[in-house]
Amino acid sequence: MIEDRTRAAVNGGAHGVGGSTVWVFDERRRVRDDVASRLVALPSVARVEAVGDPASLLARLATRQPDVLLVGTQRATDSGLAVATQVLRAHPSVPVLVLGAPDDAESVRAAVAAGARGYLRWDASPVEMGLGVSRVGLRAEPGRPHTGPLSAVGAPPAHAFGGSTALAAAPTTVRAAVRVDVPAVTLSVREMQVLTGMSQGKSNAQIGRELYLSEDTIKTHARRLFRKLGAKDRAEAVASGFRRGMMS
């Protein structure tokens, strides 16, 4: 019951049309929801399912398999580690990523030894999660299983746990890895000014006043930049600007 509620809350009905399916296991609801909330923002992730009960995790694995399975470990109870080991024994082909506490290198090392593909700090940013997930379980096409073989992500627990965050080194690499689309668009100065205004929550009239232009003129620029960026919305246009590296 509780489990169904959580599933419903995280799952919704996003029938991933391309993009991988990620399962998150952790017995602590806070943790798995927190991690899930960051995962749903990733463009490469189409479907996120949160599981809090070892039994139902194994039951699901019997019929379906995720592209990546994140397993949270906690030092206090060894349950997370036990679950990971159990899963890997039953389904060695499932790409398991261990979610470790920032200072818990041991459990992580143990899990990697047991067959996990890598680890992530549970406080990793979406970008870092994206890197980890895409390295471990990228799917080229919806029907195909994860493209393998992939080199282990979790090789050097020691130094990674010393830094601020595991896998934090190369965000630009992530961009390159995740990016798929973007056929190089250039916006004019005016269009950039309008887009910037939009990203600051300004109305067309407000942008017009600040640029000493008519609101209708702003609308025209907006329409044009929507076309260029392939956006139907100012929200999508702003997102597109950020994804293309035009904004910061």
Partner DNA sequence: GCCGGCCTCACCCGCCGGGGTGACACCCCC
Partner DNA sequence: GGGGGTGTCACCCCGGCGGGTGAGGCCGGC
Decide: is 77 part of the binding site for DNA (CB under 7 A). no
- Shortest distance (Å) from residue 83 CB to DNA: 18
Residues whose CB falls within 8 Å of the CB of residue 114, separated by 6 or more in sequence, listed in order: 81, 84, 85, 88
Of 5, 172, 180, 216, the one binding its own copies by CB under 8 A: 172
Q: What are 247's two structure tokens?
A: 């904004």
- Shortest distance (Å) from residue 163 CB to its own copies: 12
Decide: is 38 part of the binding site for DNA (CB under 7 A). no
- Shortest distance (Å) from residue 122 CB to its own copies: 13
Decide: is 176 part of the binding site for DNA (CB under 7 A). no
Q: Which partner, DNA, its own copies, none, binds residue 63 by CB below 5 to 8 Å per kind? A: none
Decide: is 10 part of the binding site for its own copies (CB under 8 A). yes
Decide: is 232 part of the binding site for DNA (CB under 7 A). yes
Decide: is 231 part of the binding site for its own copies (CB under 8 A). yes
Q: Which of 13, 10, 11, 16 is nearest to 143 (CA)?
A: 16
Q: Which partner, DNA, its own copies, none, binds residue 241 by CB below 5 to 8 Å per kind? A: its own copies
Of 127, 133, 136, 160, the one binding its own copies by CB under 8 A: 127
Q: Are 112 and 73 in contact (CB under 8 A)?
A: no
Q: What are 8's two structure tokens?
A: 């419903």
CA distance 125 to 143: 28
CA distance 205 to 209: 6
Which residue, 29 or 179, is less far from DNA as judged by CB? 29
Q: Extract the runs of DSSP E, i.e. beta strands, from the chain.
A: 20-25, 45-51, 68-72, 96-100, 118-121
CA distance 195 to 58: 48
CA distance 98 to 38: 16
- Shortest distance (Å) from residue 86 CB to its own copies: 26
Strand order in the sheet with 118-121: 45-51, 20-25, 68-72, 96-100, 118-121
Q: What are 231's two structure tokens?
A: 């956006």
Side chain identity at residue 228, one-letter code: K
Q: Are 73 and 97 in contact (CB under 8 A)?
A: no
Decide: is 191 part of the binding site for DNA (CB under 7 A). yes
Mark residues 37-56: x for contact with its own copies by CB under 8 A, - for none: xx-xxxx------x------
Q: Which residues bind DNA (CB under 7 A)?
A: 1-2, 5, 8-9, 29-30, 186, 188-191, 203-205, 208, 211, 213-217, 219-224, 226, 232-235
Q: Which residues bind its own copies (CB under 8 A)?
A: 9-10, 12-14, 33-34, 36-38, 40-43, 50, 125-127, 130, 168, 171-172, 174, 178, 186-193, 195-196, 198-201, 209-213, 231-239, 241-243, 245-248
